[in-house]
Structure 1
Amino acid sequence: MKAGFNGVDFEDNINFTRLHAERLERAKKYLKESGFGALLCYDFDNIRYITGTHVGEWNRNKMNRHCLLIDGVEQPILFDPACPSKRQRVSWINPENIMPAVGSMRGSIPAEVGMVEQEVAEIVSYLKKYGAEGRTLGIDIVDIPLYQALEKAGISIGDGQAPMVEARMIKTEDEIELLKCSAAMVDAAYWDVAKHLRPGATENEMEALIQHQLFKWGAESVEFVNCISGQRGNPHSHTTSNRMIRPGELVYFDVGNVYNGYHTCYYRTFSCGRPTKAQEEAYAKALKWIRDGISVIKPGNTTADVAKMWPSAQELGFNDEKEAFLLQFAHGIGLGLWEKPAISRLFSLDHPFEFKPGMTFAIETWCPSEDGSGSARIEEEIVVTKTGHEVITKFPSDEIVSCGFPGCMFP
């Protein structure tokens, strides 16, 4: 990480003006290649990618906020519930391109009010204004009433998610720096976990510790913290409980930090006390699988090369690859938690995808301990470089971090 968390006047840092411009240009490029006349985006991450704006997680699932990117038009049109504020505080979009957003609020506003019809009329008016009304409109996600109203207005609708997935797959220099900043915050949070993990601590208490530290350091949001202890680790429960951690147990964490929109997905495994031989053996397997997978990540190789390094679902004790889907897995990461490329034995062996510089993703493995005391879980975040790859998650993963007792790494 070469950038600081705050801009300074004496050296280069994250350049947000460049970030806005480069993301918008990539969105325009893939819009043009799609053949659509415009993209209508309701997905918050796509809106942010195109417009460089955000309004808070409270609004994410209301389906009112949206943006319209029209082929050949310089600036996007943003529809935002904080429209008056955006007009004052967003200098990179003309005020006349920032409009209020109400919509139906997921049906909470009565249909007879006609908010959906008003929304469609606004969209159609911009398409007509810029000569795009006769071309297909790409939409990423949509409410059914809005979809039906657009069809009724004679608008041909296509899959707008596809070009945005492609646009966001290769990250810019500033996006990679933001991902590194976000990961650095979790690096530090895991140090605090190691100092506080002990018998009597509860899973939700440890989650609260991580949340507190991340917000203190400037997290925009914490999408999730999963703390999984003891027998809850096999099978993986994928959620935190109020269970109390006991001596001799493995505990693993997954942290979804969000810094300036950019996510982490970052597992580490700890032991309450010194790990048993069975726990160390499970960890060694998970570590080998993830490092073998990472070793083949470079431009020209494919996702199949990684998937070949992992055990089958049956070897892990599951019926099929769908059951094991999230346990030996990789997924793109950026403004979204899951982006392209994805890697799994479920599909990657038969449908390989080539690695290219600028791709960023999280890669994760899991292995249960034969003594029934828990499971090992490891995850690293990767940037594909011109010559290979870079691991940007820095909290040590060479061995289980032991905590809470004399003789442990963190007594």
Structure 2
Amino acid sequence: MADFDWHAERSDLSGIALLDRAPESEGIDLRQVRLYRQGRVRQQMAQYGVDAVILSDPVNIRYATGTRNMQVFSQRNAPSRYLLLTAERSILFEFTGCLHLADGYETIDEVRPSRTASFVAAGPRIDERERAWAAEMNDLITELVGKNATLGLERLNAGTSIALRELGLKIVDAQQPVEMARAIKSAEEMKCINASLRATEIAVGKLRDAIRPGITENELWSVLHKSVIEQNGDYCETRLLSAGQRTNPWFQETATYEIGEDELIALDTDVVGCHGYYSDFSRTFHSGPGKPSETQRELYKVAHEQVHHNMDILKPGMTFRDYAEQAWDIPERYYANRYYLSAHGCGMTGEYPYLYHRGDFPDAGYDGLIEPGMTICVESYIGEKNGAEGVKLEQQILITETGNELLSRFPFEEALLR
């Protein structure tokens, strides 16, 4: 790969130019990726009878346009930037002072300054601000698609939604069309996913190399985060790394715990990596210096069996219900601590579909179809209730026309499989 001239003209160092020339973008037509994704949203809007959507989730804005800005800040300060998308127009309302960040994006027809409708921004005048915000959006939507339009919304405060409805708009949830759009990836999009996975695997390799008794969970997790950022990834969505007795039950966030000798260390990457794509695989390691115990090896081998059985049965045309029926039977002694999902969709974050265990399907499950182009994460957590330790494993796969393809390539621990 030719070296990139980081000292080129200033115009080449802002907005889209620098992002598209980042090293992990080589060989990927990001323009095609952005146009495909926006086309998918518009297809699903038409299918569900939605005239316009206002997207305020920064992940969905990025999916529909490729633009990004202060992702984590925007998640908790909605609507600080938002997108109005119709069949013909894409108008980004960008945060104050940030309008230049959308320069060069073929997915954006117009950029306007946003009007933040939140109590923090408006104080006791919040009702006035919400009504003004709604009136502005209603006028624009009426201009673009006509009166009494069907409008899809997400992540807006209640007062704003109520004000929009009072103006005559038919309000529906935007989640369904957007999630259905995101579920099917293009071949070019898969290049982004693989670039993100390769970078995350490098980061996990560095984390594995840093394992030693005496290091804290926080120190170890920081190795992963540092490497992700160095490789132009975005952020780690969770802090799911724990060791020893803190591996059971699962979902104990990384803390100041000092890792001891011959303990298990469980990691779920949950990395929003290169191009904003989720790298989601799990591994469990052994701290040494001795060999894993028989109990540790048994936990690991059981989790390994669950993941591989469930990977092997996933194929296009399978219903969610059929998957639940054919999925691996969790032994009774591990059932109480089972992972809450058997598998889930994966794209720019964890997404549709959720695939539930057989026992959970009657209450939580829903039916649907496994389709080519879906990327699925197959999950396992194995640990007895009140047990000393547990094992977390997970693989990310692509559903193909004939079966599935493994995407996550980080190796398993031979010492724990013996």
Asked whether the two chains share a fold, i.e. TM above 0.5, the reply is: yes
Distance 1:70 1:370 in 2: 51
1:341 aligns with 2:353: yes
Post-superposition offset of 1:24: 1.1
Say yes or no: does 1:389 pair with 2:404: yes
Question: Shift of residue 248 of structure 1?
Answer: 1.8
Deviation digits for residues 354-376 of structure 1, max 9, x if unmatched?
Answer: 21110012111011279944111
Mapped contact 2:249–2:385 kept (Cα < 8 A):
no
Query: What corresponds to 2:139 in structure 1?
Result: 125
Change in Cα spacing, 1:6 to 1:156, as seen in structure 2 (3 Å) is closer
> Contact 2:371 / 2:399 at 8 angstroms: preserved in 1?
yes
Decide which moves more: 98-107 or 286-295. Answer: 98-107
Residue 241 in structure 1 maps to residue 258 in structure 2:
no
Counterpart of 1:341, as a letter, is P
Kindly tell me the number of residue pairs found equivalent between the two proteins. 389
How many Å apart are 1:201 and its aligned residue?
A: 0.8
Specify the SS of the correspondent of 1:393. Answer: coil
Classify 1:180/1:117 alpha carbon distance in 2 versus 1 (closer, same or farther; 3 Å).
Answer: same
Shift of 1:195: 1.6
Match of 1:62 in 2: 77
5+ long unaligned stretches in structure 1: 403-408
TM-score (norm 1): 0.87
**Residue aligning to 1:406:** none
- 1:371-408 per-residue CA deviation (whole Å, 9 max, x = no partner) reads 94411110111111112111111111264569xxxxxx
Q: Secondary structure at the match of 2:122?
A: coil
Helix, strand or coil: the match of 2:84?
strand
On the 8 A contact 2:95/2:113 being kept in 1, the answer is yes
Match of 2:103 among 86, 89, 110: 89
3-state SS in 2 of match to 1:130: helix
Which residue does the alignment assign to 1:298? 315
Q: Is 1:202 the counterpart of 2:211 in the alignment? A: no
Distance in 1, matches of 2:245 and 2:93, equals 47
CA distance in 2, matches of 1:398, 1:249: 14
Partner of 1:156: 170
Is contact 1:37–1:132 with CA below 8 Å preserved after alignment? no
Residue 83 of structure 1 deviates from its aligned partner by: 6.0
Partner of 1:170: 184
2:380 maps to 1:380: no
- After TM superposition, list the pairs within 5 Å mapping 1:327-338 onto structure 2: 328-336=341-349, 338=350
CA distance in 1 between counterparts of 2:108 and 2:405 reads 38
Name the structure, 1 or 2, with higher relative contact order (CA <8 Å, separation 6+).
1
1:3-22 equivalences in 2 (<5 Å): 13-22=27-36
Alpha-carbon shift at residue 158 of structure 1 (Å): 0.9
- Give me the identity figure in percent: 25
Amino acid across the alignment from 1:192:
K
Deviates more, 1:269-278 or 1:76-85: 76-85
Query: Which residue in the other structure is 1:272 paired with?
Result: 287
The Cα of 1:177 is off from its aligned counterpart by 1.4
CA deviation string 1:279-338 (max 9, x = no partner): 1111111000110000011112233444332335854242xxxx7453x521111122x2
Q: CA deviation at 1:260?
A: 1.5
Aligned to 2:302: 285
For 1:171 and 1:239, how far apart are their aligned partners in 2?
31
CA contact under 8 A between 1:229 and 1:249: conserved in structure 2?
Answer: yes
Alpha-carbon distance in 2 for matches of 1:158, 1:176 = 31
Separation in 2, partners of 1:173, 1:33 = 23
- Cross-structure match for 1:309: 327
Mapped to 1, the partners of 2:100 and 2:376 lie a distance apart of: 32
Deviations along 1:228-254, one digit per CA (max 9) or x if unpaired, are: 111111111331111111112111111
Larger % of helix: which? 2
Letter in 1 for 2:225: Q
Residue 47 of structure 1 and its aligned partner are, at CA, apart by 1.3
Native 8 Å contact 2:338 2:381 kept in 1: no
Secondary structure in 2 aligned to 1:224?
A: coil
The letter for the 2-side match of 1:270 is F
Q: Could you say which residue in structure 2 is the equivalent of 1:101?
A: 114
Tell me how far apart the structure 2 counterparts of residues 370 and 263 of structure 1 sit (CA, whole Å).
30
Partner of 2:3: none
User: C-alpha separation between the residues in 2 aligned to 1:104 and 1:186?
Assistant: 37
For 1:269 and 1:246, locate their aligned partners in 2 and report how far apart those are by CA, in whole Å.
15
Q: 1:356 to 1:237 in 2, by over 3 A?
A: closer
- Contact map agreement 2:333 2:385 (CA 8 A) in 1: no
TM-score of the pair, normalised by structure 2: 0.85
Give the whole-Å Cα distance in 2 for the aligned partners of 1:343 and 1:325.
Answer: 11
Q: Where in structure 2 are there 5+ consecutive unaligned residues?
A: 1-18
The question of whether the paired residues in 1 share the 8 Å contact of 2:92 and 2:108 is answered with: no
Q: Deviations over 1:80-127 (max 9, x none)?
A: 1056543772342566x2111132235442242632222212211111
Kindly provide the amino acid, as one letter, of the partner of residue 240 in structure 1: T
CA contact (8 A) 1:316 1:367 kept: yes
Structure 1 residues 175 and 83: CA distance shift in structure 2, 3 A: farther
Separation in structure 2 between the aligned mates of residue 191 and residue 88 of structure 1, nearest angstrom: 35
8 Å Cα contact 2:339-2:381 kept in structure 1: no
Partners of 1:68 and 1:78 within 8 A in 2: yes
CA RMSD of aligned residues (A): 2.7
CA contact (8 A) 2:244 2:265 kept: yes
8 Å CA contact 2:265–2:287 kept in 1: the answer is yes
What is the distance in 2 between the residues matched to 1:366 and 1:240? 17
Task: Kindly state the Cα deviation for residue 257 of structure 1 after the two structures are TM-superposed.
Answer: 1.7
The superposition leaves residues 141-163 of structure 1 with CA deviations (integer Å, 9 ceiling, x where unpaired) of: 22111112112222221121111
